[in-house]
Amino acid sequence: MSLFRYTRAGQGPRAPRRHSPLPWIALIALILGGITLGFAWLAGWVGHRLTAQRFTDTIEATGPAHPGFRRAHSKGVCVSGWFAPSAQAPTLSSARVFSQARVPVLGRLSIGGGDPHGADGSARVRSIALQLVSDDGQEWRMAMNSFPFFAVPTAEAFFEQTQAQVPDPATGKPDPQKMAAVLAKYPSAQAFQQWARTAPWTDSWANTRFNSVNSFWFTNAQGQRRAVRWQWQPRTPVAELDADARKRADVDFLSQDLQRRLAAGPVQWDLVVSIAEPGDAIDDPSVPWPDARETVVAGVLSLERMQSQEQGACGELNFDPLILPSGIRGSDDPILAARSAVYSQSFNRRERERAAGAAAQPKEAAR
């Protein structure tokens, strides 16, 4: 078929009709503009949206920089050992970690706060992070704290709380009015302060109980799905440390204590899983579940060795609580998704700094 069209016989070919390129240019500009806006929105450059970057920037602004270290729970040690599931564990979840006789564990014990050389005696919050790798290559990563519930219900609320901790340039200290406003807005933050004031301080990581706080879904081989929270219940008897003893204690007493205990044998915790009942807060970690919930002891953790976080393998691990094996799923708790995104930011930043030579230094070298 000819590329030319004829109007009337004998008049010869008519010149091709010229289409204006303007609509096409406008369409392409619109698409490109949309893509740019989309990226800008995702990056949080428009609308001042809460992003993982903005959250991490704000956490960084709460204290001095420590390149190469985690932006939170910066002081810690690497640990390793085993998890052995109980006979009841497979009734909860089909996850391979619950049916394999012994699962290797890599972990990290830490204290709250952003100072990698802070005093153990002043850390109200203690933590454990674990990576369980089963023989089919699946992983269960988790990071838990000694507090029994989270201070606030949402990521935005935690962001507000973090903002309130940023020092005021005029005084060099956080503005107490900002924290008072957060406490007035979130009753759970007041309950958290009450816990921090009154809960006993134990004298060791080994006798500290660690709580998942966030909820997860366990599905067993029969397809039965249940919302759960868990805690690592220490087998080491509780011994308290009063305020005077904490002041006198060595800045690194927790790792010194652990070293002594491990020299004598493994340190153990039971995995105690609580099962939700209808009406329990599944997507809000600031609401504790009643103590009367049905519990199942799903296994025992035995830690056998420790290493510094500078030398051990945990230093370069991101204990993202949403890295889960089949048989375990995260709930819709918005804090879980926020944690996953912010940990990844923190991990990328510290890894970049380490690659650039700002490797996390042992305390002596860093001083």
Positions marked active-site: 73
List the x/- string, 259-288, binding to ligand HEM by CB under 6 A: --------------------------x---
List the x/- string, 298-337, binding to ligand HEM by CB under 6 A: --------------------xx---------------x--
Residue matched to tokens 């200290």: 173
Using CB under 6 A as the binding rule, whether residue 79 contacts ligand HEM is answered as no
CA-atom Rg of the chain in angstroms: 27
The DSSP annotation for 250-319 comes to: -TTHHHHHHHHHHHHS-EEEEEEEEE--TT--SS-TTSPPPTTS-EEEEEEEEEEEEEETTTSGGGG---
Using CB under 6 A as the binding rule, whether residue 129 contacts ligand HEM is answered as yes
Report the half-sphere exposure of 149 (CA within 13 A, side-chain side). Answer: 24
Residue matched to tokens 């800045």: 251
Q: Closest distance between ligand HEM and the C-beta of residue 74, in Å?
A: 8
Question: In the set 50, 58, 68, 72, which binds ligand HEM (CB under 6 A)?
Answer: 72
Question: In the set 45, 195, 201, 347, which binds ligand HEM (CB under 6 A)?
Answer: 347
Check: CB of residue 320 under 8 Å from CB of residue 314: no
Q: Closest distance between ligand HEM and the C-beta of residue 187, in Å?
A: 18
Q: Closest distance between ligand HEM and the C-beta of residue 58, in Å?
A: 9
Q: Which residues pair with 34 in a beta bridge?
A: none
Tell me the three state secondary structure of residue 332: coil
Using CB under 6 A as the binding rule, whether residue 338 contacts ligand HEM is answered as yes
Q: Closest distance between ligand HEM and the C-beta of residue 334, in Å?
A: 8
Using CB under 6 A as the binding rule, whether residue 110 contacts ligand HEM is answered as yes
Check: CB of residue 68 under 8 Å from CB of residue 195: no
Using CB under 6 A as the binding rule, whether residue 108 contacts ligand HEM is answered as yes
CB neighbour list of residue 234: distance below 8 Å, 6 or more residues apart: 206, 207, 208, 209, 268, 269
What is the distance of C-alpha 119 from the center of its chain?
22
Q: Closest distance between ligand HEM and the C-beta of residue 32, in Å?
A: 34
CA distance 311 to 290: 41
Q: Closest distance between ligand HEM and the C-beta of residue 158, in Å?
A: 4
CB-CB neighbours of 207 under 10 Å: 18
List the x/- string, 137-176, binding to ligand HEM by CB under 6 A: ------xxx----x----x--x------------------
Q: Which two tokens stand for residue 57?
A: 């920037």
Q: Which two tokens stand for residue 17?
A: 């009709």
> Nearest Cα to 200, choosing from 257, 267, 146?
146
Near ligand HEM in 50-69, by CB under 6 A: 55, 59
Q: Closest distance between ligand HEM and the C-beta of residue 141, in Å?
A: 9
Give the residue with the Cβ less far from ligand HEM, 91 or 262: 262
CA distance 74 to 118: 9
Using CB under 6 A as the binding rule, whether residue 213 contacts ligand HEM is answered as yes
Tell me the three state secondary structure of residue 60: helix
The site that binds ligand HEM (CB under 6 A) totals a number of residues, namely 30
Using CB under 6 A as the binding rule, whether residue 186 contacts ligand HEM is answered as no
First-last CA distance in the chain: 83
Give the residue with the Cβ less far from ligand HEM, 142 or 296: 142
Q: Closest distance between ligand HEM and the C-beta of residue 35, in Å?
A: 29
Q: In this structure, which amino acid lies at residue 325?
A: P
Give the residue with the Cβ less far from ligand HEM, 112 or 121: 112
Using CB under 6 A as the binding rule, whether residue 126 contacts ligand HEM is answered as no
Q: Which stretch binds ligand HEM (CB under 6 A): 219-227, 248-256, 268-276, 341-349?
A: 341-349
CA distance 131 to 319: 7
Under the rule (CB under 6 A), what is the footprint of ligand HEM?
A: 55, 59, 70-73, 76, 108, 110, 127, 129, 143-145, 150, 155, 158, 213-214, 285, 318-319, 335, 338-339, 342-343, 346-347, 350
